[in-house]
Structure 1
Amino acid sequence: MEQRYYSMDEVAGLLGLHVRTVRGYVRDGRLRATRVGRLYRVTAEDLAAFTGTPVEPPPRRARRAEVSCVARVEAIGPDEAIRLTNTLVAAAVGRHGRKNADRLRVESAYDEERGELKVIVLGGPAAAGELLGMIDLLALGEGTTER
């Protein structure tokens, strides 16, 4: 069976104490800790003995994936670039009712000299894919042959 070890910061967070207080308990011998290199670690058993109750481990972070991509739209005027950007930002903001994992962030930069709009999309793969589909549809239109 694998033994769970807590750092001083984790012990402080679990107990609601300052790290210095926890280190003082270790130094005084009130809390048993093992030195690993230059750091001290406290086993789950020792922490349970110190508190008199079993300590729940902190919840594990859920696995998630995030995509970042840049879409470049060429030959677009400033008014059209503003409309496209506003539509994409509105679509991204409208998704906030969904899980945070699907939250999208959209940034844009327009180069008037080149007539080029760059849209930066960050978020979950599925949500980012939907937004990229919107860029394809809105920027190029349905009747466009060039893709």
Structure 2
Amino acid sequence: MDGKFYTIYEVAQLLELHHKTIRGFIADGRLKAIKAGKQWRIAREDLELFMGGEVPSRSPDEHGHISMNAMKQNLVFSTTQNTTFSATQGAVPAANESISVSTVIDIKETSKENFERISNTLLAVMNSKGEVYANATIHIKYDEETKLFKIFLWGSIDFMKEMMSIVPLLMEDKN
């Protein structure tokens, strides 16, 4: 354990997400964080567990901000959240939302054309409005320089099974 902790804003910059999205992950229990005074802190190990791999080494700029400017392409799709409300508990997930899973898929040495084909297909699948895609989120990034394609997925176990079966099929169909 190296003792490195990140703020919500640093994690948001690393993942190129809005800080409110990171706060939502913490509130949902998807991302483990500890409260230090009024601020949330995310341990490097917890961030790596959430991302499914090592946190990218990024050096802060002169303002202390961490940048991932290399990620040129960035696509996000999120379905609407179905929640029920209780007078005593506030927003409560529906019964079928009791388990949520997240993963990161890294596809190395991918051409921009292959990235576009796969990402367009995955976004079309997400738009299918199937029940398995309810409350699911996909975040897609591509770095042209390193030819690294990242797919961030959040959703139900069934959603994860579906997406994990689709991605390998799309990788085979490179023609």
TM-score (ref. length: structure 2): 0.42
As a proportion of its length, which structure holds more helix?
1
As a proportion of its length, which structure holds more strand?
2
